[in-house]
Amino acid sequence: MMESWQKLLSNSVVKVEDLPFVQNDPSYLRKLKRVSESYPIRINDYFLRQIKSANDPLWKQVVPSPEELDDFFSEEELLVSDPLNEEGDMPVPELVHRYPDRVLLMVNNHCPIICRFCTRKRKIGFPGIVTRETLRGGIDYIRRHTEVRDVVLSGGDPLLVPDKEIDRILSDLRSIPHLEIIRFGTRVPGTLPQRITEELCAILKNYHPIYFNMHFNHPSELTPEVETALRMLADAGIPLGSQTVLLKGVNDDSKIMRELMLKLLKNRVKPYYIYQADMTEGTNHFRTTVEKGLEIIADLMGHISGMAVPYYVIDAPGGGGKVRLLPDTVIERNENEVVIKNFEGKLFRYPQPARKNGHPASPKNKTPDLCQIS
Ligand SMILES: *Cc1c(COP(=O)(O)O)cnc(C)c1O
């Protein structure tokens, strides 16, 4: 008999006094307590049990660090509470309309765990932000805007909403003829897998096409319980994707990322994005250089199945949207040829096709010299 997710959630650690492994260090605890007054703590009972030691990769994602307050008092104003200017792109409360054909709708503002690096640190875990009214307003907005064909349900975590309410939200959304795709942006499958029940899967199945974009940062999150949840979702016909945040000290390492991506793929999850960490106040200690991200992507591309390689993106500060970054694969490009670099670092020349009215790129009588040049 599986434990109920409601019980695991209500048994969350929400106070520093209940954190594991640090109770013998009162001065450290006092510091963490100050942090928790600005940014709440939540570690549900399932996730807590997966933490094996202080400072392991799971611990770092959920236990506050004294460094979170450094950004508050820093002179620089680089880091802000809403780095992606989501509030500026909300035509109605709690709905972000940034791209032409899709919107992000916050369904609640609670999560199975509170991630210390959260881009919505300003909202998560505080009461009264997302309400029945904002949700209704968001759904009405989608109904009025026929250009919206794709909605990302987010929050918070949309799967912390009770089954009956999920059923109602999906049924309301499905009554909108121009809305084609409904996606869930959720960290539940990897952090509270008991929430994925047969009952939930039966509800979701009624509203296809439903997509999931989940959040996984470290291979140790893929426990047997999580693998079961993923199997149930995939068997319900839901295409599964995963998003990962590049985090210093957690997964800023090619070997770890490679293991994570391969493990996801094996569980029928397609790695979708690796995010460069946003410039969110209180999260600076997690940021890595962009070179590190490019290095990791270069270490994945070509070396493992292409299906296991996500896009590496920066969500442009100030609200420009996601921008994909690639390691330099085009070394040279002109009207006659391009020089490209493969995964082993070898260079190849690719002649352009001859242009009709211009000078021929490569003479007809000569086979193009499609060869490795270094
Ligand atoms: C990421 C995001 C989406 C979805 O973008 P895709 O690239 O299609 O996955 C939509 N709206 C907002 C505000 C987003 O941040």
What is the pLDDT, as a whole number, of residue 128? 77
Element housing 78 (H / E)? none
> Is-contact 118 280, C-beta < 8 A?
yes
Q: How confident is the model at residue 74 (pLDDT cuts 50, 70, 90)?
A: low
Q: 20 CA to middle of ligand 1, Å?
A: 36
Ligand 1 midpoint to CA 347 (Å):
35
Strand partners, 315: 322
Listed residue (183, 270, 186, 189) closest to 233, CA to CA? 189
Alpha carbon 247 to chain centroid, angstroms: 12
| Res. 78 pLDDT band, cuts 50 70 90 | confident
Active site residues: 98-99, 102, 111, 115, 118, 120, 278, 315, 322
Pairing of strands 330-333, 337-341: antiparallel
The DSSP letter of residue 360 is -
135 falls in which pLDDT band (50, 70, 90)? very high
**159 CB contacts (<8 Å, ≥6 apart)?**
166, 184, 186, 188, 189, 195, 200
pLDDT at 76: 60
Cβ contacts of 341-345, under 8 Å, gap ≥ 24: 342/302, 343/298, 343/301, 343/302, 343/303, 344/302
DSSP element (H, E) containing 19: none
Orientation of helix 198-205 relative to helix 163-174, angle to 10°: 10
Give me the chain's average pLDDT, please: 93
User: In the prediction, which pLDDT does 374 show?
Assistant: 67
Q: What is the mean pLDDT of residues 78-107?
A: 93
Query: Could you tell me the distance, in angstroms and rounded to a whole number, from the CA of residue 104 to the centre of ligand 1?
Result: 7
Give the pLDDT confidence score for residue 206 in this predicted structure: 98
Q: Helix axis angle, 224-235 relative to 198-205, nearest 10°?
A: 30
Residue 368 confidence class, pLDDT cut points 50, 70, 90: very low
User: For position 365, what pLDDT does the model report?
Assistant: 47
- The residue to mutate among 84, 97, 98, 99, having the most atoms of ligand 1 within 8 angstroms of its beta carbon, is 99
Confidence of residue 283 (pLDDT cuts 50, 70, 90): very high
Q: What residues flank ligand 1, with Cβ below 6 Å?
A: 96, 98-99, 102, 104, 152, 322
Which residue, judged by its Cα, is nearest atom 2 of ligand 1? 104
CA–CA separation, 374 and 368 (whole Å): 17
Q: Which of 301, 289, 288 is nearest to 328 (CA)?
A: 301
Distance between Cα 266 and ligand 1 center (Å): 25
The predicted pLDDT at position 73 comes to: 60
d(Cα 79, Cα 151) in Å, to the nearest integer?
28
Q: Which residues contact 176 (CB under 8 A, 6 or more apart)?
A: 139, 142, 143
Given a cut of 90, is residue 361 above it in pLDDT?
A: no
Q: Given a cut of 50, is residue 367 above it in pLDDT?
A: no
pLDDT at 196 exceeding the cut of 90? yes
Nearest to 138 by CA among 171, 91, 183: 91
**SS3 for 237?**
coil
pLDDT-wise least confident of 124-133, 235-244, 342-351: 124-133
What's the rounded mean pLDDT across residues 9-35? 94
Q: In the chain, what are the domains?
A: 87-325 (3.20.20.70), 328-374 (no CATH)
pLDDT of residue 77: 63
- Which amino acid belongs to residue 214? M
Report the share of the chain in percent with pLDDT over 70: 94
The 10s digit of each residue's pLDDT in 295-338 is: 999 999 999 999 999 999 999 999 999 999 999 999 999 999 99
Q: CA nearest 109: which of 135, 90, 140?
A: 135
